[in-house]
Amino acid sequence: MISTRRDILKLAGMAGLGAAIPRGLLAAEDIAEISAQVARLQLLPESYPQTEIWGYGGTIPGREIRVRQGERVRRRFANELPQASSIHWHGIRIDNVMDGVSGLTQEAVAPGGTFEYDFVAPDAGTYWYHAHNRSWEQVARGLHGPLIVEEAEAPDVDREEVLVLDDWLLNPETGQIDDSFDHPMMMSHGGRTGNYVTTNGRYNLTLPARRHERLRLRLINASNARIFPLKLSGLEAWIMALDGMPLPAPAPMEDVFVLGPAQRADLIVDVIAGEGDTADLVHVDDAENFSQVAFAVSGTASQARRAAPAALPPNPKMDRPDLAGATPLRLVMSGGAMGGMDSAILDGERKGFRELAAAGRFWAFNGVAEMTDTPLADLSMGEPVRLEIVNDTVFPHAMHLHGMHFREVSEAGALGPLRDTVLVGGRETREIAFTADNPGNWLFHCHMLSHAASGMTTWVRVT
Ligand code: C2O
Ligand code: CU
């Protein structure tokens, strides 16, 4: 059922790296540098040429940044790319001036320029950082890395692995990244999905494991648009946290678990496969299942299984928004192929479909196909909000709010776990609620990054 096919021309759906990510390289108090560089590395198997990528520290994924909860993160960003750039610290409840959004919270850093990021990481959890200028190109070229904030007291596991799931659109002849970033096809359909799937930059990541070993897996979906349906084989798992935020109780993982673009999940897994067997994190694909990460089981960690894990400690400010007093907001998403968007506002004027398409706009939020000076909502500090997201398109969209986490409101009015990105299926309506408790200008956009670039970006202001 699980194939380990090596044919890269068909989606070689596979995996990452274990011990090779440099960890804890940089003390949080130093003003260390993080440079965005052009580099060549062996992304494809050895028989293929090296691939030119853009990476933080010249690696794929970018160098892991790891701090303890409440610590300061200081990095001097040095832009050695041929394009202006900035770094966004995805999921961190951050000071707005450090949010790294080119054109909203800072000017893009020109080639050769630097910018000093300095913020506190208030919440423990699994986060990531990525480029936020021309992100549909820059993230696809490799500009992202894990940002791990450790709990004061680590959960009781034998080992931890950070697993960055990604995909690449490569030219099979040259092994180079396909540079049709602005192609209308990618903009107007599901977004840029690759033909080569990796974990930590590797298509065939295999990690050692022992029977009855307990691991913490930190999953990060860093791809531009790919939705990863995942399941486990030879592993028993609990979902411990979503988008960095701990669940009140570990949720046993049953069947298929979906990780949308930009989403993260912390799992605790017990290795139940026998010695000599292989356990897998399985990428469920329509046609066939792939081993996204393989665990080669040898030796035994302990004779018996352990008791189920305890919940991770809660982060500060996890209180529930006041639904009864919440300001109602609505966001209608329209457009895309087969969406029938006849017209929308661009440059302040109503434009027809052809004009919009010529300008590279295929989507609209509330009938507007651009970022405007007027936010979706002007909120005052402490204001509770309920936001209905109506997806009037046939495609799924991964909606991400900067600066604040939200909870999904079920049809029955129950509040779900805290998240920073919600995957809204085609023709689906979902509702989220949050308390506007972080002052500043916060982007709200689709994390299918070519959608964000072609109409699906707006913002909220908290004052
Ligand atoms: Cu990862 Cu604007 O976001
Ligand atoms: Cu989208």
CB 233 within 8 A of CB 282: yes
CATH for 327-462 (2.60.40.420, 1.20.58.220, 1.10.510.10, 2.40.50.100): 2.60.40.420
What DSSP character marks residue 361? Answer: -
Tell me, what's the pLDDT at 6? 38
What DSSP character marks residue 114? Answer: E
Helices (H), 109-152: 135-138
Distance from Cα 37 to the centre of ligand 1, integer Å? 20
pLDDT band at 407 (very low <50, low <70, confident <90, very high): very high
**Position 23 pLDDT exceeds 50:** no
pLDDT tens digit string along 79-94?
Answer: 999 999 999 999 999 9
Closest C-alpha to 261, from 243, 285, 280, 239: 243
Q: Is the CB of 451 under 6 A from ligand 1?
A: no
How deeply is 304 buried, as exposed, middle or buried, from its count of CB atoms within 10 A (0-12, 13-18, 19+)?
exposed
What DSSP character marks residue 235? Answer: E
Q: Which two tokens stand for residue 306?
A: 């352990």
Two domains, one topology: 5-150 and 327-462: yes
How many whole angstroms separate alpha carbon 226 and alpha carbon 164? 13
What lies within 8 Å, CB to CB, of 76 at 6+ separation is 31, 32, 33, 34, 114, 115, 116, 117
Q: Which atom of ligand 1 is nearest to the CA of 445?
A: 2
Are β-strands 32-41 and 397-401 bridged in parallel, bridged antiparallel, or unpaired? unpaired
Q: What is the mean pLDDT of the segment spanning 338-363?
A: 93
Q: Which atom of ligand 1 is nearest to the CA of 402?
A: 2
Which has more pLDDT, 255 or 6?
Answer: 255
How many whole angstroms separate alpha carbon 276 and alpha carbon 280? 13
The CATH number assigned to the domain with range 159-300 reads: 2.60.40.420
Q: Is the CB of 144 under 6 A from ligand 1?
A: no
Q: Which two tokens stand for residue 443?
A: 């982007």
Ligand at shortest distance from the CA of 136? 1
pLDDT over 70 percentage in the chain: 94
CATH for 5-150 (3.40.50.2300, 3.30.365.10, 1.10.760.10, 2.60.40.420): 2.60.40.420
CB 212 within 8 A of CB 91: no
Ligand at shortest distance from the CA of 421? 1
Q: Which two tokens stand for residue 280?
A: 């897998």
Residue 249: CB atoms within 10 A of its CB come to: 13
Provide the β-strand partners of residue 397. 424
**Position 15 pLDDT exceeds 90:** no
What lies within 8 Å, CB to CB, of 264 at 6+ separation is 91, 125, 126, 127, 128, 218, 219, 220, 221, 241, 242, 243, 244
pLDDT tens digit string along 267-312?
Answer: 999 999 999 999 999 999 877 899 999 999 999 999 988 999 999 9
Q: Which two tokens stand for residue 2?
A: 């699980």
How deeply is 187 buried, as exposed, middle or buried, from its count of CB atoms within 10 A (0-12, 13-18, 19+)?
buried
Q: Which atom of ligand 1 is nearest to the CA of 132?
A: 2
Tell me, what's the pLDDT at 14? 36
**Position 12 pLDDT exceeds 70:** no
Ligand at shortest distance from the CA of 452? 2
How many whole angstroms separate alpha carbon 245 and alpha carbon 237? 17
**Position 58 pLDDT exceeds 70:** yes
pLDDT tens digit string along 351-385?
Answer: 999 999 999 999 999 999 999 999 999 999 999 99
- Per-domain boundaries in the chain: 5-150, 159-300, 327-462
**In angstroms, what CA-CA distances link 279 with 13, 44, 236?**
16, 24, 10
pLDDT tens digit string along 106-148?
Answer: 999 999 999 999 999 999 999 999 999 999 999 999 999 999 9
pTM above threshold 0.75: yes
Tell me, what's the pLDDT at 338? 87
Q: Which atom of ligand 1 is nearest to the CA of 101?
A: 2
What lies within 8 Å, CB to CB, of 278 at 6+ separation is 234, 291, 294, 295, 296, 297
Q: Whose CA is nearest to atom 3 of ligand 1?
A: 90
Q: Is the CB of 445 under 6 A from ligand 1?
A: yes
**Tokens 């006041």, residue located:** 322
